[in-house]
Amino acid sequence: MKYFLAHRLNQVFGLRNDTVVTNRICQNSTPYYEYSLDLIQQCSNLRKFPNICSKDIYYMIHKYTKPEVENMYPNYEWGVIWKNLNFKYINLYDRNIVYKVLHDILMNNHKLYIIGNRASPLCEICQISETNIHMFLYCSKVQECLAMLYRMIFYLCDLNINESFLRFIFMYFPKVNKKAQNTLCVIISSYISCVWSNRDQQGQLLYKFKGKIAREQKYHLLMLENRAKDFFTDNYCNLNPHILQNL
């Protein structure tokens, strides 16, 4: 086996003429060794070889598979959406919830009904099928909080929502400056997380949402200090309880 590996590695890297070695080995090999050697050959063709990392090898082994949601909404720039989702100042719990919404794997009555854990797929309040889009956009229990979110976006990001809000829920904000985009990432993810976490507390949703925005903004100011205005809009950085209460 050592002669075979020496022979194959010489072929990969072109180290020397191994005619003599070739006569001493069997040309048959197992798929296990061939796969490893083929992987080494692929690595050797990378531009930054030999300075490669495990991430480079992972992307060579694991071929990219387009998520189903990208086929459902092909007009969105999904590279931008995934980048927004990975904005480093989004709360980790919020990011997890938004990830599940984007991949349509967050549990709701419609999904629970399909797997047999609910007697009905209908929203208990609206009496129509409870999908994720219904839960965050159209359910009557979120309308007051959603109106607050519209006002907050207008005040913090100077954006007037005059079109479908679905793309905002999907973290897609084309033609928006970088600071406004970062601010949107935080407040949209906070809204989605807040609605999900308080889905059984209808009367307190608006209060909970305002409190969450205040906590997230305070955390960003403490963590970034004077650099906060490099990442977020001025109105977000200057937000205080009095302004938040009167939005």
Summarised one tens digit per residue, pLDDT across range 171-211 is: 998 888 999 999 999 999 999 999 999 988 777 899 999 99
What average pLDDT does the chain have? 83
87-91, 143-147, 198-202, 224-228, range with the lowest pLDDT: 198-202
Contact in structure between 220 and 124 (CB atoms under 8 Å): no
The partner residues of 196 in beta bridges, in order of sequence, read none
Spatial CB neighbours of 56, under 8 Å, sequence gap ≥ 6 = 43, 46, 48
Check pLDDT > 60 for residue 155.
yes
pTM over 0.85: no
Q: How far apart are CA 38 and CA 81, in angstroms?
A: 34
The partner residues of 129 in beta bridges, in order of sequence, read 122
Nearest to 172 by CA among 97, 42, 74, 88: 74
Q: How far apart are CA 168 and CA 157, in angstroms?
A: 13
User: Residue ranges per domain, the chain?
Assistant: 2-61, 68-246
Question: Residue 33 — very low, low, confident or very high, per pLDDT cuts 50/70/90?
Answer: low
**So what's the pLDDT on residue 21?**
47
DSSP 131-174: -HHIIIII-GGGHHHHHHHHHHHHHHH-----S-SHHHHTT--T
**So what's the pLDDT on residue 241?**
87
